[in-house]
A and B are shown apart, each in its own frame.
Chain A
Amino acid sequence: MQKAERLLDLAALLLRASEPVSWREIQEQFPDDYGGSGEAAIRKFERDKAELLELGVPVRWVGGDEDLSAGYLVDKEDFYLPDLKLAPEDLALLYLAGSAALAQRAFPYARDLAHAMNKLSFAARAPGASEVAAVAALQLSADDAEGDARAESSARLEALSTAVAAKKRVHIVYAGAERQARTERDVEPYGLYQRGGAWFVAGFCRLRQDIRSFHLGRIVSLEVNAAAPRTPDFEVKKGFSLAELATRESWEFGVHAPVRCRVRLEGPASPEERDSFGPRASWKETDGRAVVEVMAQNQEALLRHVLSYGDRAEILAPRPLREKARKVLAALARRVS
């Protein structure tokens, strides 16, 4: 019997049964697959059971007692997708979140997300959810077929999603931005985060013996450790917080010791400008001018951020950084004149 067929038959058998189904009974129903005695048949069944679990079919073993015989069962309550019982505006949020994420194309577990949207159309009377899933599914398969750079990066994100979930080590070739050289490293991928429209993988880098982030677009090649796919390769280090890392500003990544920097902005700062300096910045506004203070561990990055505001912003302190800003702008002015 083909595997897909066997799994579905098995699921149907267990779903229909009103009592736990004993191992012997299962063997009788699938003589060609689990027949015979010994380890091999049991191992095969256990593998199938694991696959069903991953597909959302909760197969359980229940030990017998006086009233119930021992065996396997699928708890119906625990199998069928329940109604989510959400208020219409919360459903709208879910629906929008899913469709917006799928619209980006590159999203961790994008395929699972498309499946989730299909299921959502059952779970919550969310008309349109399945439409979104359809468009996304089409897009995903089109990306597969094209084999272009976008497909490449979606595939990489998918491979990393799997590695993160299974805690499998990855081997990457990485093209650093600051240094042009390529490096090869083993990374224990802890999580994936998005920033400025790009995805990063964060994890423990064995080469640097520290937590590092890697821009997915600069991963030249990626191999997931294929050995023992169901056995984790690592434990996430205690105290690691993906959200903390993901919301760190570019000038907060440690290149040098922290330096207090001050920046002046013309006019009252808009909410998005305030946002752009991050939650740890402190602000003072006087006479229609805003002065913001941040602790920078990478002054170059802060300089780039300030320069992007053109003449709206100016570095006040420290003096060497101010001098650097002047030099950079003077050099640019010479080029354009």
Chain B
Amino acid sequence: MTRKAAPPKADARDRLRRVLFLVPYAVRHPGVPVRDLARRCGVPEKQILEDLDFLLGVGCPPFAPDDFLDLYVEGDRVHVALHQSFSRPPRFTESEAAALAAAARALGGEGRERVVRALREAVPRDRRAIFEELLACIFAGSPPAKDSLLGRIEQAIAARRALRIRYFTATRGEESERVVHPYTLAQRLGHWYLWGHDEGRGKALPFRLDRIRECAVDEKRFEPPTDAELARGRLFSEASGPPVRLRLGPLAAAWALARPGQWRVVKRDRKGGAVVEVPGVSDEWATRFALSFGGNAEVLGPPSARRHFGEAVRRALARYPG
């Protein structure tokens, strides 16, 4: 029996967590639209309206009129008079801080331990030991090798400054100079990427961090990306060209299909093998990927990818005279 992804329950804890954020947020942003609150909390507007209803009933014993939250909704805008008790959100819970600290450690950078210390301080005193214990239970990946490069990229993202980079394109085996408006960083299939707008190419592209050979922060500032652009960064690497088709033996299929990736399984055989299609990858990637299964996978097509694979195999074999 597989544990189903439970739909978000109208659980008391969820509600409380939400309102402990909502109230101070609304205090700080008078007249914030319901829609905006809903978006920030990741719940439907209806849920926020119910939360607000709930808040109207919340007071503080002995429940005299003054003890209730001074909250009203006008049109679709929410107003909360400065509330003594909930003017700021509570400290980080141990799991909130641990998740953020684990993410910071994986990203690396020179400031990571300072950040972890600051997070620890922001957890209630009694919970700090649990925070440390929990943090030791999450290892979100090894940081990229070049810390200084990452530091510069982080600064540029925060300051919204353009980056001049020398970038190595593996598929063409050459380096090129580019000016990039850095939007965000993302990790995909074990690699760190900078996602940003390439001035020369006039569109947003992913850049693998370990292929950025040189990088300098430019004086030039840029407009922050829209939500839509950022959201696209989450799903980057738009597919272009025909998908690569691979045959995976039973062993390779068991490994590969368990990994995250944009597979389309075309066919499965009875022994567990599969034919899959992967969109938007280079011939070189396909060859490396197939060979990484030690003979249990091959590239089927398109013809250029199949050729690339065949040539790589023959050249590699030539290294082992029989």
Residues of A within 8 A of B (CB): 2-5, 7-9, 11-13, 15-16, 29-30, 51, 53-58, 60, 78-82, 84-101, 103-110, 112-120, 122-123, 128, 130-141, 143-145, 147, 151-156, 159, 161, 164-165, 175, 177-178, 180, 190-198, 215, 217-218, 220-223, 242-243, 246-247, 271-272, 275, 300, 303-305, 307-311, 314, 322, 325-326, 328-333, 335-337
Kindly state the interface size class of chain B when it binds its partner. Answer: 35 or more
Known: A12-B85, A93-B115. A109 touches B7 (CB 8 A): no
A55 touching B90, Cβ below 8 Å: yes
Within the complex, the shortest CB–CB distance from B273 to chain A, in Å, comes to 11
B42 touching A310, Cβ below 8 Å: no
How many Å lie between the Cα of A215 and that of B85 in the bound state? 45
Q: Is B13's beta carbon under 8 Å from chain A?
A: yes
B158 touching A58, Cβ below 8 Å: no
Q: Which residue of A lies closest to B195 (CB)?
A: A103
Mask: chain B, 98-123; 1 = CB below 8 Å from A; 0 = not: 11101110110101101100110110
Known: A84-B122, A108-B102, A137-B42. A307 touches B93 (CB 8 A): no
B54 touching A114, Cβ below 8 Å: no
B111 touching A103, Cβ below 8 Å: no
A137 touching B96, Cβ below 8 Å: no
Within the complex, the shortest CB–CB distance from B292 to chain A, in Å, comes to 4
10 closest cross-chain pairs (CB), A and B: A137-B42, A92-B158, A217-B258, A29-B61, A101-B103, A56-B90, A311-B315, A308-B292, A155-B5, A326-B320
Q: Could you say which residues of chain A place their CB within 8 Å of the CB of B100?
A: 94, 97-98, 101, 113, 116-117, 120
Within the complex, the shortest CB–CB distance from A74 to chain B, in Å, comes to 9
B8 touching A55, Cβ below 8 Å: no
A-B contact count (CB 8 A): 398
A112 touching B19, Cβ below 8 Å: no
Contact of A336 among B43, B259, B313 (CB under 8 A): B313
Segment of B71-79, B182-190, B238-246, B274-282 in the binding face = B182-190
A8 touching B58, Cβ below 8 Å: yes
B137 touching A192, Cβ below 8 Å: yes
B99 touching A221, Cβ below 8 Å: no
Q: Is B318's beta carbon under 8 Å from chain A?
A: yes
Q: Could you say which residues of chain A place their CB within 8 Å of the CB of B122?
A: 81-82, 84, 123
A101 touching B136, Cβ below 8 Å: no
Q: Which residue of B lies closest to A220 (CB)?
A: B2
Known: A100-B187, A311-B318. A337 touches B310 (CB 8 A): yes
Q: Is B31's beta carbon under 8 Å from chain A?
A: no
Q: Can you sample 27 A-B contacts with CB below 8 Å? A: A78-B91, A78-B125, A89-B111, A96-B107, A96-B157, A99-B185, A100-B187, A101-B187, A103-B187, A106-B260, A113-B99, A116-B96, A117-B100, A119-B96, A122-B89, A133-B40, A135-B227, A175-B254, A197-B188, A215-B258, A272-B145, A307-B291, A310-B287, A314-B316, A314-B320, A326-B322, A331-B295
Q: Which residue of B lies closest to A270 (CB)?
A: B210
Within the complex, the shortest CB–CB distance from B84 to chain A, in Å, comes to 7
Known: A4-B15, A135-B227. A79 touches B124 (CB 8 A): yes
Contact of A13 among B61, B141, B231, B250 (CB under 8 A): B61
Known: A130-B40, A177-B254, A220-B2. A93 touches B138 (CB 8 A): no
Q: Which residue of A lies closest to B184 (CB)?
A: A99
Q: Could you say which residues of chain B place their CB within 8 Å of the CB of A161?
A: 95
Q: Could you say which residues of chain A place their CB within 8 Å of the CB of B151?
A: 89
B318 touching A165, Cβ below 8 Å: no
Q: Could you say which residues of chain B place their CB within 8 Å of the CB of A156?
A: 3
Q: Is B59's beta carbon under 8 Å from chain A?
A: yes
Q: Which residue of A lies closest to B253 (CB)?
A: A177
Q: Could you say which residues of chain B place their CB within 8 Å of the CB of A108?
A: 99, 102, 138, 140
Contact of A119 among B42, B89, B137, B318 (CB under 8 A): B89
How many Å lie between the Cα of A103 and that of B7 in the bound state? 21
Q: Could you say which residues of chain B place their CB within 8 Å of the CB of A54?
A: 13, 93
B186 touching A100, Cβ below 8 Å: yes
B233 touching A5, Cβ below 8 Å: no
Main secondary structure of the interface of A (DSSP, over half): helix
B19 touching A8, Cβ below 8 Å: yes
Contact of B96 among A90, A113, A153, A195 (CB under 8 A): A113
Known: A12-B60, A196-B189, A308-B292. A140 touches B99 (CB 8 A): no
Within the complex, the shortest CB–CB distance from B87 to chain A, in Å, comes to 8
A191 touching B39, Cβ below 8 Å: no
Q: Is B293's beta carbon under 8 Å from chain A?
A: yes
Q: Could you say which residues of chain A place their CB within 8 Å of the CB of B107?
A: 93, 96-97, 100
How many Å lie between the Cα of A178 and that of B98 in the bound state? 34
A56 touching B91, Cβ below 8 Å: yes
A242 touching B258, Cβ below 8 Å: no
Q: Which residue of A lies closest to B109 (CB)?
A: A93
Contact of B320 among A110, A134, A310, A322 (CB under 8 A): A322
B93 touching A165, Cβ below 8 Å: no
Q: Could you say which residues of chain B place their CB within 8 Å of the CB of A300?
A: 294
How many Å lie between the Cα of A95 and that of B139 in the bound state? 18
Q: Could you say which residues of chain A place their CB within 8 Å of the CB of B17?
A: 55, 115
B21 touching A303, Cβ below 8 Å: no
Q: Is B272's beta carbon under 8 Å from chain A?
A: yes
A103 touching B319, Cβ below 8 Å: no
A7 touching B184, Cβ below 8 Å: no
Mask: chain B, 139-161; 1 = CB below 8 Å from A; 0 = not: 11110011000010011011100
5 extra interchain contacts, Cβ-Cβ under 8 A, other than A100-B187, A135-B234?
A: A53-B126, A108-B102, A123-B122, A271-B210, A305-B292
